[in-house]
Amino acid sequence: MNPSLLIMLAAWAFVAAWTAGVVLSQRRVHPKALFYLFFVELWERFSYYGMRALLILYLTKAFGFADDKAYGIYGAYGALVYATPVLGGLIADKFLGLRNSIKLGAVLMALGHFAMALPQRPVLFLALGFLIVGNGFFKPNISSLVGKLYPDGDARRDSAFTLFYMGVNTGAFLTPLTCGAIGELYGWHWGFSLAGIGMVTGLAIFLAGGRANAYEDKGLPPDPALLTKKIARPFRIDHLFYAVVFLCVPVMAFLVKHNETAKWFLGALGTGMLLYLLGFALRQEKQQREKLFVILALFVFTVLFWTFFELAGSSINLFTDRNVNRTLAGFTLPTSMFQGVNPLFIILLAPLFAAVWKKLADIARPLSAPAQFGLGLLQLGAGFLVLVAGARLAGPAGLAPLWSLVLAYLLHTTGELCLSPIGLSLVTKLSPKSIAAFVMGIWFLSSSFAHTIGAEISKLTSQPAEASAAAVIAPAHGLQLYAGVFWNVGLIAIGAGVVLFLLVPVLKRWMHGVK
């Protein structure tokens, strides 16, 4: 049997045992709804990261796109995926409700993954459009539903989000080893089809949770009667709404294909949403206003974090393919499998971090969220400097040692655990309940900006268009391009972490006792 398949089977066995242990140990601590949502998110992330692990390789190898063109498509797709949750969250708050929005998003994403299995360029962009619109309805609302499981001041909330984040990364760990490896070894369409099956599985689990009444009355539409109101027999308001949603798919496909246009669209959307939130904050009383100011301030640093972190799917992915020695025990591992290193570390470390945050809360000495964000940025920067060190140890063949890539991913992971799950939890604590899902969508907008900026950073590592598809450029020359960019990225991330630590006292005061 191919060694990649052996690794895949071992990973599934490990995840089954590890997840069972974590769930059984926490089942008396958290409501059962958390575990339904844990597995829904696991399978949704399995589908999303299955596609993500393959996308940049698919664009450059199957379609022959030059590096800069592939980076542009990848960046526009990632940016739009994280921009649409702003609207998806707002629509859920005011109209559909969280649960209906999650189901709609799951259906759209499943269609997108299965469409990716068809190797035609027009279908490629349409498939990405389905994934973008679907994610907009799914992503913010499942996180908001987790937040609604716990009353204000519940000490279990941070622990719950860290465990939920483990579900995210369990799916993200399995998928490069499954969809990625099978896609590279046996055909791209098999990898994308597996991603679609994962999304359908997640939808089935979510529906099962509803039938078991696990969510109780949480996440229902604010005005259910409005959705069924007739506008013209036999059409209801919700029918018209779903039709409009499907019409948005080709619009998103157009923006991905013409990604320079997408930048202007995202800039206008992002600026408008942030100004709306700022205006809303200014109309609130002092305490709520300052809490929203904390979200906006940390949003800036979160954009910077994800800008650098998300290079993993673009420039770091191609760096791994071209300039890392991937030979282990005489076998060269597929590039996409290394997209599983970061989530593997999260699976292993998330329970430890959850226990640490809870222990600090129990002894009334919690590390503030802004300080945790600062730690995350410092570790992210250190990871990029490790990649530079590995590049400098490369031999004449221009191949960096494998340990440097793994160590960099470890540092990125510990940084992520200091920032991402804590950020999700913080947004649910600081946001007014009336716009909680909308603010969660704003928070995910940070990743939208990050993908847009990250695409431009990745282009700094682009190989000449005539060389990239055929990989005829000397690896040693390409190594110099990557090392120079990674060095600057590492220094900027560390500098931002230091600045954030200086702002901690002010931000803590504005949080008004929220831990």
**366 vs 447: which has the higher pLDDT:** 447
Residue 265, C-beta contacts closer than 8 angstroms, at least 6 positions apart: 255
Alpha helix positions (H), 228-314:
237-257, 259-282, 286-309
State residue 422's pLDDT score. Answer: 78
For 79-95, write each residue's pLDDT tens digit.
888 888 878 888 888 88
Read off the pLDDT of each residue in 153-163 and give the average, rounded to a whole number: 76
Residue 175 CA to residue 273 CA, distance in Å, equals 33
The two most distant CA atoms of the chain are separated, in Å, by 73
Q: What is the pLDDT of residue 467?
A: 47
Predicted pLDDT at 392: 92
Residue 375 above 90 pLDDT? yes
- Separation of alpha carbons 231 and 435, rounded Å: 27
- pLDDT, one tens digit per residue, over 14-48 is 888 888 888 888 888 888 899 999 899 888 888 88
Whether the Cβ atoms of residue 380 and residue 374 lie closer than 8 Å to each other: no
Lowest mean pLDDT among 177-186, 297-306, 354-363: 354-363
Q: What is the b/e burial string over 359-377, where b = at least 16 CB atoms within 10 angstroms of the residue's CB?
A: eebeeeebbbbbbbbbbbb
Q: How many CB atoms lie within 10 A of CB 207?
A: 15
Q: What pLDDT, on a 0 to 100 scale, did the predictor assign at position 472?
A: 46
* Alpha helices for 368-435 (secondary structure H): 369-392, 402-430
The set of residues, in sequence order, having a beta carbon less than 8 Å from that of 398 and lying 6+ positions away, is 323, 474, 475, 476, 477, 478, 479
Which amino acid is present at 242?
A: Y
Q: What is the per-residue pLDDT across 244-294, written as a single tens digit (0 to 9) for each?
A: 888 999 999 999 988 888 788 888 877 888 888 888 888 888 888 888 899
Q: Which two tokens stand for residue 7?
A: 């690794």
Helix (H) or strand (E) holding 206: helix 188-211
| pLDDT exceeds 80 at position 350 | no
Q: Which residue has the higher pLDDT, 363 or 494?
A: 494
Alpha-carbon gap, residue 201 to 110, rounded angstroms = 10
pLDDT of residue 62: 82
- At residue 1, does pLDDT exceed 70? no
Which amino acid is residue 309, in one-letter code?
F
Q: How confident is the model at residue 473 (pLDDT cuts 50, 70, 90)?
A: low
DSSP assignment of 427-454 equals HHHHS-GGGHHHHHHHHHHHHHHHHHHH
pLDDT reported for residue 471? 45
- Is residue 442 scored above 90 in pLDDT? no
Share of the chain above pLDDT 90, in %: 25
What span, in angstroms and rounded, lies between the C-alpha atoms of 287 and 448?
Answer: 29
- Percentage of the chain with pLDDT > 70? 95
**Mean of pLDDT over the chain:** 85
Question: Which residue has better confidence, 470 or 257?
Answer: 257
Provide the sign of the torsion angle of the four alpha carbons 295, 297, 303, 308, taken in this order. negative
What separation in angstroms does the CA of 51 have from each of 56, 175, 188, 221, 454?
9, 9, 10, 31, 18
Q: Does the structural domain 29-328+340-510 have CATH classification 3.40.630.30?
A: no
Nearest to 175 by CA among 42, 75, 73, 60: 42
For residue 477, what pLDDT band results from cuts at 50, 70 and 90? confident
Q: What pLDDT is recorded for position 478?
A: 79
Q: What is the pLDDT of residue 414?
A: 92
**What integer pLDDT is reported at residue 464 of this predicted model?**
63
Say if residue 362's pLDDT is above 80. Answer: no
- What is the token pair recorded at 501? 């630590």
**pLDDT value of position 465:** 55
Residue scoring higher pLDDT (233 or 381): 381
Residue 190, pLDDT above cutoff 80 = yes
Threshold 0.85, pTM exceeds: no
pLDDT at 366: 66
pLDDT tens digits, one per residue of 172-184: 888 888 887 788 7
Taking the alpha carbons at both ends of the chain, their separation in whole angstroms is: 51
| Strand duo 331-332 + 327-328: pairing | antiparallel
